[in-house]
Amino acid sequence: MLQGFASDDSKHRGNLMRRILSILCLVLAVIVTTPLAFAAPGAVRCGKLLDVRSGRMLTDQVIVFDANGTITAVGPAASTSAPSGAVSIDLSSATCLPGLIDVHTHLTGDPNSSGYQGLGISVPREAITGAKNARLTLRAGFTTVRNVGASGYTDVALREGIDAGDIEGPRMLVSGPPLGITGGHCDDNLLPFEYHHKAEGVADGPWAARAKVRETVKYGADLIKICASGGVLSKGDQPGTPQYTLEEMQAIAEEAHKLGRKVAAHAHGTQSIKDAIRAGIDSIEHSSLIDDEGIALAKQHGTYLVFDIYNDDFILQEGAKVGMLPESIEKEKKIGRLQRENFRHAFQSGAKMAFGTDSGVYPHGDNAKQFAKMVEWGMKPIDGIQAATIRAADLIGWSAKVGALEPDHFADVIAVSGDPLSDVHVLESVKFVMKNGAIVRNDFSAK
């Protein structure tokens, strides 16, 4: 073939031209099929736009983003111009907000994976469940999630699949398997001794726990999740009982921070909450039995509290039907109301709070139902929205990229009908979702 290119023969020149043309066609086809976000800048016109930082509702605003899906300008429609060729999106009848963030999800699990039913679910099947739930979560308006606990690094695979554009889903920070003591909430205690079964994240003692942090980071974790106290959906333990010791948690926090990872600690129990905060853990998940001393410590250390106060309703109403253990339902009955009362008290005491729901305990996509619970238990709508935007972004270390509609942030935009500041329920019916400048859903355009 080289001879052909070297020849002056016109027939060979014709072949060469055809080859060049076919390569050009291929290149063009690739450009055309690449998502819009990476091909053209755009401008979203919002009838109303919630400035989540100030809590002010602005009218007639435009969000301009570039071809990389990064916001370049936000301002009044009359004075904010988009570059020529920008794709314009009309949401003049809607209220825009930044994409929401849930800092406590389990995308690879469904409610029916609790109890003994879960033993029949393979790791590959969990990954497929994760693909389904990633889509549901994104389409519900949650453009970023922190996933805190999954088997077989299915969460790492999910994150990579989403980032590669293979499947639809939110941006993810993932923990891999959660770390915990033998027989604790993060172990798997359903089978008797002769099966010799333990969960992947079990590590007892400070050095074993350090080694497990290193292993988890090696296989792709963005953060470390641990179980400091007992839990509700586990067998044979009590939510209020301490599990990891202060010494173990200090080792975990030090090792994780050294490797540039934050630590989220599952902690219902009063003592475990305090031990975790003193150990330097970054967020307390559930926080159910926190007392005044725990609240004061959280404020002093700048520790975030994550109260999952929606799923109590689901566990009590649907838990038995989906296979949750009878002991789990009993535990929830004792702890659910206390958790909500302590949520109100901690909020009124000025503790930092981020929005996390424990999705997977209840069906994915219902995450926003927690806003109404937060309002019912003492927050104003803007407090709940800030917990799911600027505060959540601060906790996960992504304040410069997500949680606000500001220049240099990802163009992650959602829109609803109505005013979420007067009725937070409107967030349960998100009608427009854009992630990184690409439209995921737009129910407004259908009208």
Binding site for Zn ion (CB under 5 A): 358
For residue 104, the minimal CB distance to Zn ion (Å) is 6
| Residue closer to Zn ion, measured from CB, 253 or 306 | 306
Q: How far is the CB of 314 from Zn ion (least distance, A)?
A: 13
Spatial strand order of the sheet with 262-267 comes to: 223-227, 262-267, 283-286, 304-306
Give 262 or 435: the residue with its C-beta nearer to Zn ion.
262
Tokens, residue 229: 């106290």
Q: How far is the CB of 315 from Zn ion (least distance, A)?
A: 12
Nearer to Zn ion, 110 or 358 (CB): 358
Asked whether the CA dihedral 314, 316, 321, 324 is positive or negative, the reply is positive
Identify the DSSP state of 81: P
Q: Which is nearer to Zn ion, 147 or 436 (by Cβ)?
A: 147
State which residue, 49 or 226, has the beta carbon closest to Zn ion.
226
Minimum CB separation from Zn ion for residue 330, in Å? 19
Q: Which is nearer to Zn ion, 64 or 150 (CB)?
A: 150
C-alpha dist (Å) from residue 348 to 307, 340, 377: 14, 12, 10
State how far the Cα of 210 lies from the Cα of 235, in Å rounded to an integer. Answer: 26
CB of 292 to Zn ion, least distance (A): 25
Smaller CB distance to Zn ion: residue 210 or 286? 286
The residue among 98 and 149 lying less far from Zn ion, judged by its C-beta, is 149
Angle between helices 270-279 and 292-301 (to 10 degrees): 20
Work out the number of other CB atoms within 10 angstroms of the CB of residue 200: 21
Least Å distance between CB 311 and Zn ion? Answer: 9
- Select the residue whose beta carbon is closest to Zn ion and give its number: 358
Residues 68 and 40: their CA atoms lie apart, in Å, by 8
The SS3 of residue 381 is helix
Cβ closer to Zn ion: 275 or 358?
Answer: 358
Q: Closest approach of Cβ 201 to Zn ion, in Å?
A: 13
Query: Are the CB atoms for 145 and 207 separated by under 8 Å?
Result: no
**Residues 374, 428: Cα–Cα separation, whole Å:** 14
Residue 282 vs residues 13, 49, 139: alpha-carbon distances, Å = 66, 31, 29
Cβ atoms of residues 359 and 367 within 8 Å? yes
- For the CB of residue 241, give the shortest distance to Zn ion in the complex, in Å: 17
Order across the sheet with 432-435: list the strands: 71-76, 56-65, 42-51, 87-98, 413-416, 432-435, 438-442
CA angle 178, 182, 184 (to 5 degrees): 65
Work out the number of other CB atoms within 10 angstroms of the CB of residue 120.
8
CB of 266 to Zn ion, least distance (A): 6
Q: Please, which residue, 106 or 441, has the CB nearer to Zn ion?
A: 106
Q: How far is the CB of 149 from Zn ion (least distance, A)?
A: 6
What CA–CA distance (Å, rounded) separates 185 from 73?
Answer: 46
